[in-house]
Structure 1
Amino acid sequence: MRIHLIRVAILILFCLTTNSMLAQGCVAIRHFSCSVGNNLDSNLLQPGDFQLGMNYRYFKSFRHFRGTEEEPDRVSNNTEVINNSHSWDFTLNYGITDRLYAGITIPSVINTRSSLYEHGRTERHLSFSRGIGDVRLGVGYWLFNSETHMNGNLAMGFGLKLPTGNFNATDIFYNVGTNGEPQIRPVDQSIQPGDGGFGFTLDFQFYQKVSTGLYSYLSGFYLFNPRNKNGIRTFRETLSPILENESIMSVTDQFSVRGGFSYSLSQTLSASLGGRFEGIPVEDVIGKSDGFRRPGNVLSIDPGIAFMKDNISLNLNVPIAVRRERPQSVTDIETEQQTGTERQGDAAFADYLINFGITYRFKNKSKKEDISIINLN
């Protein structure tokens, strides 16, 4: 019975995918996860276990919001900004003890952005970026002994974000020179592979058995980015003199919280349904919040399905946005105070995301076969 419960718990918890930061588009919410991933299955490791993983994410953002109100005329007038984002997280986790674990996440991205306003407002063109993102390193610890708390547990984690991603990716922008000639400029903040700042994360992961086969889950993290601005020019001041305070990119905090319920359909298959709330805050917790940012948040319904057999695990989640908000930024408020005219920028969001993950566990063969998660078959 004990082994069966552990098997069920792992299947249920695998629905908590590694991609925490999922939303969407012009809001510069990059594909982000905790340094050791938010996949609890990846963190329920025995001493000496390794687990390799890959998580793929895709979204297309094109719906513009100002506050919580959509601006549908942007699509009907063909003036919308369209971001297409493909990203891959490659993870390696290691069980130090049955409660302490460590991991590394190496992200890779390919992004495109189609717009009119960045190309003289006369022609629609595409800008492009690709490369390694910001690498994360981290550790986590389960607060309770899994031997005596099989039906529920809580883990706390700490991670470091390194500025390994290119935060000055450039492309050709058309009709923007003095005489309408093309120029090479940095691409928009939302498709830059990195943000240029050292950061750190605090995260938590919780699960609790509700009844046979049914578990509740809750997880979240906050990324602290103390750096104020990264020195990369946005060229927004060339669009209007009132955007002078948005001429340099800000280095932003990020956050995510998700929770719900998951149910074991069989010994190899489970399904989950929950919610996500994630975004970019208006102001950072540590340091100044000057420069250009598009703060925003998304509330999503988060259905998922997971399959696990032997050492291989697969999962699919498709979060669907139900509420999107682009609040006033610090620079919006500054401009409004200086001009006496209401000012609030807009941002584009996606309708949904596609997330697919796969992991493979290399078990410590020196462990006895009757120990906890090792003996599942």
Structure 2
Amino acid sequence: MKILHAKLLLGSMLITLSINPIALNAQGCVAIRHFSSCVGNSLENNLLGNGDLQIGMNYRYFKSFRHFRGTEEESDRVTNNTEVINHSHAWDFFLTYGISDRFYTSITIPTVINARSSLYEHGREERNSTFSRGLADIRAGVGYWLLDPIKHSGGNMAVGIGIKLPTGNYNATDIFYNVGPEGSPEVRPVDQSIQPGDGGFGLTVDFQFYKKMTTGLFAYGGGFYLLNPRETNGIRTFRETLSPLLENEAIMAVPDQYSVRTGLSYSLSNALSTSLGARFDAVPVKDLIGGNEGFRRPGNVLSIEPGLAYFLHNLTLNLNVPFAVRRDRPQSVTDRQTEISTGTPRNGDAAFADYLINFGISYRFTKSKTMEIDPSLMDTFN
């Protein structure tokens, strides 16, 4: 019977799943927070032995510019140069520690740089940009594998719970032009979509699973839900200055978010794997807990997500690029309120991206111990 370093072996197995923990990727103005589950949804990063430590960084970028109202694209916005353009960069620095072979805990410290270009926020006469940067909302949590990872290497499921802290600035400001007295510039809070934080304490629940289908081929899946009980954060949007009908959207909401994903991953070699899956990311119209007043852009995105991962000893690199195939900006609570009060149909719009770039790098520090692995399980790791 071969003697193998247990965590090196487990890392080799799960890297075939190459699941990047950066999400929620609801692609644009709808995704007001570059957010992931508190314990991440990366199988490989969470499969740790007692005393193992994983550190890493995940980077995400997208450009949102395609406007949707419901599932219909308003292509004239780009043609007429009236589209809103968001450039979003996020770096999540994380640390995960194996409390035991089945329990793990993790903390994620996110930072962001965002830019937003628009006409309507600057008097509608000229295009200008606003910016935000800095620390976002820190997340921490714990997870548990339901089965022993060594004995059940062909399939397993983990569940987790965590908290989101309101550490990010949710009142970031910049200069808006042509909006003050006599068209003067004025300092105001930037749009909800580029605020580094949302101002609420949150609770997340998550799950993740993998299942061996045949040698080298795995099915994977997972998801999380963020509950944000706080209804509004008190920050003014200034939307009511655009129209009296938007009075009910004068204050920013603190909405829930969720994401689910599933797919297949295939090991090309001991060091390289590829994956293809689908994901669904959303900001819901209504929260599970708390009220639903204030301004939010609800929306959801269905994406096809190819991925590639590389594993060398304890170093992991992965790249995932979700491509949007369906985008939807449903009617919000405030849209419905306005429709009822005016008798005129109303459904706000939102800008979405065509794709995202998710890149991750991590390194695992393992304890200097070995354990015996049943030879019948060896093909699982190839």
Same fold, TM-score > 0.5, yes or no? yes
Provide the rounded CA distance (Å) in 2 between the counterparts of 1:156 and 1:320.
Answer: 27
Partner of 2:21: 18
Q: What CA RMSD, in Å, does the superposition of the two structures yield over aligned residues?
A: 1.8
Partner of 1:199: 202
Counterpart selection for 1:161 from 164, 178, 190: 164
Deviations 1:241-272 (A, max 9, x none): 00000000000000000000000000000000
**Displacement of 1:8:** 4.9
- 3-state SS of the aligned residue for 1:141? strand
Provide the rounded CA distance (Å) in 1 between the counterparts of 2:222 and 2:121.
Answer: 38
Partner of 1:90: 93
- 3-state SS of the aligned residue for 2:181? coil
Amino acid at match of 2:125: T
Deviations 1:49-98 (A, max 9, x none): 11101000000000000000000000000000000000000000000000
Provide the rounded CA distance (Å) in 2 between the counterparts of 1:6 and 1:138.
Answer: 22
Provide the rounded CA distance (Å) in 1 between the counterparts of 2:150 and 2:124.
Answer: 63
Provide the rounded CA distance (Å) in 2 between the counterparts of 1:116 and 1:163.
Answer: 30
Do the aligned residues in 1 keep the contact of 2:21 with 2:36 (CA within 8 Å)? yes
Gaps of 5+ in 2: none
Do the aligned residues in 1 keep the contact of 2:161 with 2:204 (CA within 8 Å)? yes
Counterpart selection for 1:368 from 367, 370, 373: 370
TM-score, with structure 2 as normaliser: 0.95
Q: Does 1:151 align with 2:154?
A: yes
Amino acid at match of 1:224: L
Do the aligned residues in 2 keep the contact of 1:29 with 1:279 (CA within 8 Å)? no
Amino acid at match of 1:187: V
- 3-state SS of the aligned residue for 1:179? helix
Q: Does 1:264 align with 2:272?
A: no
Amino acid at match of 2:16: I
Runs of 4+ in 1 over 6 A off after TM superposition: 1-5
**Displacement of 1:277:** 0.2
Provide the rounded CA distance (Å) in 1 between the counterparts of 2:210 and 2:299.
Answer: 28
Q: Does 1:55 align with 2:24?
A: no
**Displacement of 1:22:** 1.2
Provide the rounded CA distance (Å) in 2 between the counterparts of 1:266 and 1:5.
Answer: 14
Using the aligned pairs only, state the percent identity.
Answer: 68
Counterpart selection for 1:277 from 264, 276, 280: 280
- 3-state SS of the aligned residue for 2:131? strand
Provide the rounded CA distance (Å) in 2 between the counterparts of 1:334 and 1:171.
Answer: 30
Provide the rounded CA distance (Å) in 2 between the counterparts of 1:345 and 1:238.
Answer: 16
**Displacement of 1:23:** 2.2
Provide the rounded CA distance (Å) in 2 between the counterparts of 1:45 and 1:86.
Answer: 29
Deviations 1:130-174 (A, max 9, x none): 011000010000001123211000000000000000000000000
Distance 1:12 1:231, change over 3 A: same
Amino acid at match of 1:282: V
Matches within 5 A, 1:77-116: 77-116=80-119
Provide the rounded CA distance (Å) in 1 between the counterparts of 2:71 and 2:64.
Answer: 16
Do the aligned residues in 1 keep the contact of 2:275 with 2:306 (CA within 8 Å)? yes
Provide the rounded CA distance (Å) in 1 between the counterparts of 2:335 and 2:90.
Answer: 30
**Displacement of 1:9:** 2.4
Matches within 5 A, 1:280-319: 280-319=283-322
Do the aligned residues in 1 keep the contact of 2:50 with 2:100 (CA within 8 Å)? yes
**Displacement of 1:309:** 0.9
Partner of 1:217: 220
Structure 1, 234-243 or 30-39: larger mean CA deviation:
30-39
Deviations 1:283-326 (A, max 9, x none): 00000010000000000000000000101000000000000000
Structure 1, 233-242 or 2-11: larger mean CA deviation:
2-11
Provide the rounded CA distance (Å) in 2 between the counterparts of 1:370 and 1:100.
Answer: 21
**Displacement of 1:7:** 5.5
